[in-house]
Amino acid sequence: MGHLPSLAEELKLQPTLKCEGQHGYHQQISRNYATTTILSPGNSIGYMGGGFDKALANLFSHGDFGWKHTEKHVQSQLLDLYKGYLTPENANLIEFSTDSFYCDSKAWNTLSANSILHMPTMRVPRPLTTATSVIEQYRYVFDCTWELLSTVNKANIETLKWEDDRHAVINTMVLTGIGTGYGGIPVQIVGKAMVAAIVIFTNHALLRIQKSIYCLKFLREDYEKLIKADELNVRISTDKYDPEIDSLDKLF
């Protein structure tokens, strides 16, 4: 995490509106500004005491607000809402919106990040490969990634929907590998599944039904149990696809 400031400078991600101690700064972060959210690949009770989560909690600390306060903020936003237990693969955005956060946190002042995208990738730290086949690992990572993208997309839709909304648009997501740590899923599987989800989700040239079929096709599901490709008035590649052996370009 020590490289984040230099990375932010290289990518020119400095906040467009610097906090210089002015009162009510947080009220200026409106839909006219673009922000960053960072994934916390967490657990089912929101603890952030180790690994990437602890580094992330430190990044969002500010002033007397240490990493443990970040953890408590995340838990207070989630555990009451979900009655104490967070189901895996369920993503939520946790915002930080005080003046002290904007003035003092590295998250904002190096990466324009004012939210954590929390998703339990497992209930407790454990291997994810011992009882699952390779194709199920692809499916798990793909579905997790789609959930993350959908959560941010829904938040942006709500932000743009209301003229008086005080939230900013999220235009950058910082994602870790899903399940590559304790989970032990090979990085080749994780990378391919995450890229596939991102490519399909963000491809504006594809119609909704095309995205539906390409998702099921990548996941090696029999989409023709639901709809016949030749009944559609859109172009769909009907070639068989297996993510375990085929390159991503063959999907389309």
Query: Tell me: the pLDDT tens digits for 95-139?
Result: 998 878 888 889 988 898 999 999 999 999 989 998 789 999 999
Neighbouring CB atoms inside 10 A of 127's CB total 13
Q: Which two tokens stand for residue 63?
A: 């002033």
In the predicted model, is pLDDT for residue 200 greater than 70? yes
Query: What is the pLDDT at residue 39?
Result: 98
8 A C-beta contact, residue 216 and residue 223? yes
Confidence class of residue 32 from pLDDT cuts 50, 70 and 90?
Answer: low
8 A C-beta contact, residue 36 and residue 169? no
Confidence class of residue 23 from pLDDT cuts 50, 70 and 90?
Answer: low
In the predicted model, is pLDDT for residue 30 greater than 70? no
CA 98 – CA 122 distance, rounded (Å) = 30
pTM of the full predicted structure? 0.86
Query: What is the pLDDT at residue 166?
Result: 60
Q: Which two tokens stand for residue 218?
A: 């990548």
In the predicted model, is pLDDT for residue 232 greater than 90? no
